[in-house]
Structure 1
Amino acid sequence: MSIKGLLKTNIPQTILVLFLYLIYAIAGTLGTYLFKYSLNAITAKNLNSFIFWEIITMVTELATALLLPLATVAFTRQIQDYLHQIRKDIMHHYYNGDDEKISTMQNDLTNNLKILSTDFATPLITIFSGLLSITFSIGILFRMSWILILTTAVLAVITLSLPKLLEKKMSQANATVNQKNERLLNTIAHWLGGLQELRRYNAFARLNKKLKEASGEYVESNKKNMLYRSWSEIINGLGNSVAQLGMVLISGILFFNHTISFGDFGVAASFAFIIFEGIWNITDSLTRIKSTKILREETTKLRQARTLEIPTSAFGVIATNLVAKYDNGETITYPDFTIKPGQKVLLTGDSGTGKSTLFKLLLNKLTPANGQIIYFYLYKNGNPIKSPVQVGNLPQDPIVFPASIKDNITMFDSKIQENVQTAVNKVQLTNDLAKMPAGLETQVDLKNENLSGGQRQKVVLARSLIHDQPFVLMDEVTSAIDQTATEKILDNLLKTKLKTKQTILMIAHNFTPEMRAKFDQEIKLTAVRKEAAE
């Protein structure tokens, strides 16, 4: 987030905002200045003059009261338009980049932008409005006496230097709040994601402990941040009060020396309040803006455009001397294997033999500790793909979106809608849809889970079929589907005749010998593990 970016978001609206705040400052200054004539009328005991100037002053005050809400609404719209652009850029960044934790993305798209709105954008307009009021007020004071201007300048320099006392500590405290908020979101995602399992094993105590720890750290960081902010406001407030009293004292001396009139003395105190109130608001705003420096730098990096390199579809793979290593030092050694284009391969093995880890290696989500994985094109055996590789992936926990079943299958591509029914038939979803009044137009409700686990798996399988993916990894994709339907789905998957014959590597357990025989080959993993060296 930057000043330039905020102003350029909507230039006509920017001009309107600046104009409204300018008129607001002029009206406010004029109302204060004209009040001096009311005071002079009192000393002159001129009732008619007093009433006249009071009416004029009241009109300017009413104009001021109307202008501020209008200016505030216009500027709020400007901020929201800018935040929308930032949010869009961040989404492009994540879409074109590597996978990130959901909690990190949530923090970047919500809490961080809220902080930038309240501690960067809003203080900017406070500074602009304050500078206008201060400028006009100084102009009025200059007409009264140069001594008032000199006094104002000296006191202003002192007041403006006060925020630097806590500037660094506030910036660090703000960054800590951001980090602790991300950790809290991460903890919530990790633990509440398995809420049903925690209930099943009566593990509320551990859930409460973990959330309490993360929440406690976030609360403490907020307390520390507010402590520094409070001390900053106290210091700035004291400086502001002393400066105002100083101005009243000097203007009083000038009045008794007959340098200024009683009316000038009265409004001089008011202008002193406007000036030093403005300085206080500006210093507080500058402190808040500077506290967002780290966050603004991070947001700027997230907004930088990433070029999405179009991956090359793989049709086969060769793995040699492949070894995976965990953070605890434990390793898994895999057998060498080759999967040719169009082959249907079954991956089996006991729990803990590294089936899911192998998928992570093949999807480039985990870097091998040793060995290599070579993908190749169709009809080009052995010729490796050097550019990023595209491999389809169907995880055991199917990913669906809050849209219609049809859209979940087509992934919002209207060009392939005519093939939906064929895919639905092949994955045995037809009978399920017949029980739903809206059929394919049924909206997926993630909150209330209106689709069973098996139905979600069928939707994702249909999605894979209709998009004609050349090479797909399938992890227990029929685990929630009954055996009769599984056998029919398996027959259709293994007999697919797409534009290019689909290559499948499927993790499965409890398949019958007849079902295993349908595959071209079986890669059976055994427990070849090495514990971390002590």
Structure 2
Amino acid sequence: MTWEFSAIKDRHFQQFLLFAVLQLFLLLLGSLLDQVTDYFWELHLEKYFHQIRQEVLAHAYAEAAGTKENLQSELTNDLEMLKDQYADSIGGIVHSAVLLALVAGSLASFRWSLLLLVIAVSTLQMYLPRVLDEPLQKATDKISASNRKYLQTLADWLNGIDTLRRYAVGEKFLSIIHADARELESAYVKQQKADQELDYLNQAIYSLGNTLIFLLTAYLVARGQLEFGLIASVNDFSLYLFGSLMNIANYRG
């Protein structure tokens, strides 16, 4: 994309077409390789899981067996979880790490200062929102506590509903229920507020980071230290680098 936009700026139409064809070829090749690697990854995992099933069954015959349900779970559900939450995560980490290295190498080939800024912004995007983790957790805990209190109040009063009717104290019952209900509603509102603050902080950091990266790129382009086409592609570099860091963190979890 960088080379394409530079060619457009310099009015090299044939060069632009060459890069466009190359880009299309690489996109098609990348899509094909995705399918091929997915196939071989699944093939490799199934061979490995077949080996695990044989070992599980060998243990089941050799030792005092557990329940039939436990054995069925080990041979089906446990292996599925092993694939989804462990094996596929390893593949995801490798994929994201390779992408991270390629993006970082591409940025470094343009300008080291640009790479350092993108890494700094991506790190902020990953870790700064965690300052709101504690308030968000407190808001969630408050909902849980308020909900338990509300349900307990309902249970206590509804157990004596006949007595309430006999002594005509329905207004007292309603006032107490409404008070606890308002407390629960307030807890939900506070949680929503914490959620919105977290979303806003995420968006603010993302917007600020992209603006800083774009301004540095524009400054370096204006000084003739970077190709003009990088103006069009620098945000993609930032997005892929940040996405790779996030994926590695998520897959590791």
| Distance of aligned partners of 1:261 and 1:249 in 2 relative to their CA distance in 1, 3 Å threshold | farther
User: In 2, distance between residues paired with 1:163 and 1:127?
Assistant: 22
Tell me if 1:154 matches 2:120: yes
Tell me the equivalent position of 1:255. Answer: 217
- What secondary structure, in the 3-state scheme, does the structure 2 residue paired with 1:273 have? helix
Q: Paired residue for 1:62?
A: 28
Cα root mean square deviation, aligned: 2.8
Equivalents in 2 of 1:80, 1:162: separation in Å? 40
In structure 1, C-alpha distance between the alignment counterparts of 2:204 and 2:48, rounded to whole Å: 39
The answer on whether the counterparts of 1:141 and 1:148 sit within 8 Å (CA) in structure 2 is yes
Does residue 40 (structure 1) correspond to residue 6 (structure 2)? The answer is: yes
Aligned residue in 1 for 2:96: 130
* Equivalent residue, structure 2, for 1:142: 108
**Could you say which structure has the higher strand fraction?**
1
Q: Matches of 1:244 and 1:267 in 2, distance apart?
A: 16
Would you say 1:51 and 2:17 are equivalent positions?
A: yes
Larger radius of gyration: 1
The answer to whether the Cα contact below 8 Å between 1:159 and 1:279 also exists between their aligned partners in 2 is no
Measure the CA separation in 1 of the matches of 2:15 and 2:250.
41
CA distance in 1: counterparts of 2:19 and 2:113, whole angstroms: 27
Q: Tell me the residue number matched to 1:276.
A: 242
Distance 2:117 2:93 in 1: 22
Which residue does the alignment assign to 2:156? none
Alpha-carbon distance in 2 for matches of 1:163, 1:102: 47
Q: Give the aligned residue type for 2:78.
A: N
Q: Offset at 1:41?
A: 1.5
Q: Could you tell me how far apart the structure 1 residues matched to 2:41 and 2:71 are?
A: 27
- Given that 1:251 and 1:265 are in contact with CA atoms closer than 8 Å, whether structure 2 keeps it comes out as no
Q: 1:144 to 1:162 in 2, by over 3 A?
A: same
Give the partner amino acid of 2:40. A
**1:213-241 per-position Cα deviation (integer Å, ceiling 9, x unaligned):** xxxxxxxxxxxxxxxxxxxxxx89x85x6
* Contact kept? 2:217, 2:234, Cα under 8 Å: no
Indicate if the aligned counterparts of 2:96 and 2:247 stay in contact, CA closer than 8 A. Answer: yes
State whether residues 37 and 263 of structure 1, in contact with CA within 8 Å, keep that contact through their aligned partners in structure 2.
yes
Which residue does the alignment assign to 2:41? Answer: 75
* Residues in 2 aligned to 1:260 and 1:40: alpha-carbon distance in whole angstroms: 10
Aligned counterparts, 1:467-506, within 5 A: none
Residue in 2 that maps onto 1:285? 251
Instruction: Give the equivalent residue in structure 1 for 2:151.
Output: none
Inter-CA distance 74–85: structure 2 relative to 1 (3 Å threshold): same
Which protein has the bigger helix share? 2
Q: What CA distance in whole angstroms lies between the structure 1 residues aligned with 2:204 and 2:111?
A: 21
Q: Which stretches in structure 1 are left out of the alignment for 5+ residues?
A: 1-34, 167-234, 288-534
Q: Which residues of structure 2 form unaligned runs of 5+?
A: 135-197
8 A contact 2:103–2:237 mirrored in 1: yes
* Distance in 1 between residues matched to 2:76 and 2:206, nearest whole Å: 40
Q: How many residues align?
A: 184
Give the structure-1-normalised TM-score. Answer: 0.32
Identity of aligned pairs, percent? 20
Which amino acid is the alignment partner of residue 65 of structure 2?
D
Is the partner of 1:262 in helix, strand or coil?
coil
Name the TM-score, length of structure 2 as normaliser.
0.64
